[in-house]
Structure 1
């Protein structure tokens, strides 16, 4: 297993673009899909809120994992390296 090294190469601009593009495309497609669901408005709202909470909690977990990794020198954010 590779040890955490602060000198590891940063992400390329192509990778960052691809990550953001895929995020925007997936959220847009999901939103359009919810809008065109053949159900009542309250069902669309329920599905939309569930999707919003899922995306928000994903950001929270990713941020927390990154903070734990930097603060504790943890591998994969959860277990100590030898």
Structure 2
């Protein structure tokens, strides 16, 4: 049985993702702070930003969970197939 190749993430990719998120979030927060408008408008936009961030995190978790579930299902199906193939004897004659 061949072992499936698991995709791995490098440390550089992980750091890049964290830095990209931090830079984008901080730039929008700074833009909201210096926006020349009333405070309630900045608060509304900040609340919208918070909603976008939390929904993005939720979406990432859902996609990850679905991918992990499909990997488990594929492993179970592969195990069943391997069991059937090992039990099958093409040279056995039924009498």
Count, aligned residues: 69
Shift of 1:69: 1.0
Q: Classify the secondary structure of the residue corresponding to 1:26.
A: helix
2 CA distance for matches of 1:19 and 1:37? 27
Of structures 1 and 2, the larger Rg is shown by: 2
Cα deviation code 1:12-33 (max 9, x no counterpart): 0001000000100000000000
Q: TM-score, normalised by structure 2?
A: 0.68
- Structure 2 unpaired stretches of 5+: 72-95
Q: Which has the higher strand share?
A: 1
Runs of 4+ aligned residues of structure 1 deviating over 4 Å after TM superposition are none
Aligned residue among 11, 14, 33 for 2:12: 14
2 CA distance for matches of 1:6 and 1:34? 47
Shift of 1:6: 5.5
Aligned residue among 36, 39, 52 for 1:38: 36
Cα deviation code 1:29-57 (max 9, x no counterpart): 00000000011000000000000000100
Larger RCO of the pair (alpha carbons < 8 Å, separation 6+):
1
Q: C-alpha root-mean-square deviation of aligned residues, in Å?
A: 1.5
Q: TM-score, normalised by structure 1?
A: 0.78
